[in-house]
Amino acid sequence: MFVLQAQGLTKIYGSRGQVATRAVDNLSLEVERGEFLGIMGPSGSGKTTLLNLLATIDQPTAGTVIIEGRNTATLRNDELALFRRRRLGFIFQDYNLLDSLTIRENIALPLVLDRRPPAAIRARVEEVARQLGLTGILDKYPYEVSGGQQQRTAAARAIVHEPAIVLADEPTGNLDSRSARDLMEVLTLLNQNGATIVMVTHDPFAASFCRRILFIRDGRIYSELRRGESRPAFFQRILDALALIGGETDESVAVGGA
Ligand SMILES: Nc1ncnc2c1ncn2[C@@H]1O[C@H](COP(=O)(O)OP(=O)(O)OP(=O)(O)O)[C@@H](O)[C@H]1O
Ligand SMILES: [Mg+2]
């Protein structure tokens, strides 16, 4: 059973008077329950656009996104917002925590918005905090904890309501290498506990924790890798694939020509 199916997704930006950008071009993909899927590709290849389409944050010019068998195009705006809140979890590069709420309150947010009973919320937040090593900082505010702890809090918030799928865009983008490794280990644990994760990343190290990687170029799927071997060996294969695609690992490096 697929958790997510995207068929013929196309997103065209800026058609009026300007040159249109085909950010995502007739792209189809399927995500099985329990997968840990990475999406890589050069800067500007359409990764964020694709993720936002899958997340139903952005509407495609053409094509469909089906989540848990539901064609998201058939939902009204209010239904879509509710669906997103209940069935999706998000992790962003810049954490996106609410500064005025404690770590505990941030993690609890999806459950509070869903009006779950307070005792159930408390128990679930503490369970997730234990898994992610956040127990000791639950009553602190985001500004009182490290970037790595903030991002683990975002990961906790993304899975606390047991969504169908967790979508992450460059979750290690602002983290030092130690915190990035910690976060990837946390995401691996969450995946082993049943979370389905789709993660966009530039970082081959972060990508090496995935079980499958789609390489995107010019809004299309260029190639796919599946991890069979150990993580370090997979890391090497990812580097080789990136060299082939002409994708840089550093955002500041210009994308090479064809
Ligand atoms: N809101 C927008 N309006 C117009 N063009 C856009 C918009 N968002 C993205 N684009 C264009 O669509 C293409 C894909 O952009 P996107 O942000 O999806 O790339 P990306 O792969 O996420 O890049 P990066 O690795 O730098 O984050 C680019 O050519 C970009 O300039
Ligand atoms: Mg992007």
16-34 pLDDT tens trace: 777 889 999 999 999 999 9
Closest C-alpha among 128, 20, 10 to residue 58: 10
Kindly give the distance from the C-alpha atom of residue 96 to the centroid of ligand 2, in angstroms, as a whole number: 16
Kindly give the distance from the C-alpha atom of residue 138 to the centroid of ligand 1, in angstroms, as a whole number: 36
Q: To test the ligand 1 pocket, which listed residue (15, 25, 45) has its Cβ within 8 A of the most ligand atoms?
A: 45
Does residue 252 form part of some domain?
A: no
258 pLDDT higher than 50: no
CATH number at residue 120: 3.40.50.300
pLDDT value, residue 247: 52
Range of 201's domain?
A: 2-245
pLDDT value, residue 108: 98
Does residue 226 form part of some domain?
A: yes
The residues placing their C-beta within 5 Å of ligand 2, an ion, are: 48
Does residue 257 form part of some domain?
A: no
Does residue 141 form part of some domain?
A: yes
Contacts of residue 118, defined as CB under 8 A and 6 or more positions apart, other chains included, come to none
Q: What integer is the mean pLDDT of 109-131?
A: 96
Q: Whose CA is nearest to atom 14 of ligand 1?
A: 46
pTM of the predicted model as reported, rounded to 2 decimal places? 0.92
Q: How many helices (H) and strands (E) would you count in the chain?
A: 8, 10
Does residue 253 form part of some domain?
A: no
91 pLDDT higher than 60: yes
Does residue 255 form part of some domain?
A: no
In the chain, the number of structural domains is 1
Does residue 250 form part of some domain?
A: no
pLDDT value, residue 20: 87
Does residue 251 form part of some domain?
A: no
Across all residues in the chain, what is the average pLDDT?
A: 92
152 pLDDT higher than 50: yes
Ligand 1 pocket residues where CB is under 6 Å: 13-14, 21, 23, 41, 43-49, 202
**CA gap 256, 258 in Å, rounded:** 7
Q: Which ligand is closest in space to the CA of residue 52?
A: 1
Kindly give the distance from the C-alpha atom of residue 94 to the centroid of ligand 2, in angstroms, as a whole number: 12
Q: How far is CA 197 from CA 54, 124, 142, 159, 173, in A?
A: 12, 20, 24, 10, 17
Helix (H) or strand (E) holding 131: helix 118-132
Taking each helix axis from N to C end, the angle separating 77-87 and 103-113, rounded to the nearest 10 degrees, works out to 130
Kindly give the distance from the C-alpha atom of residue 123 to the centroid of ligand 1, in angstroms, as a whole number: 40
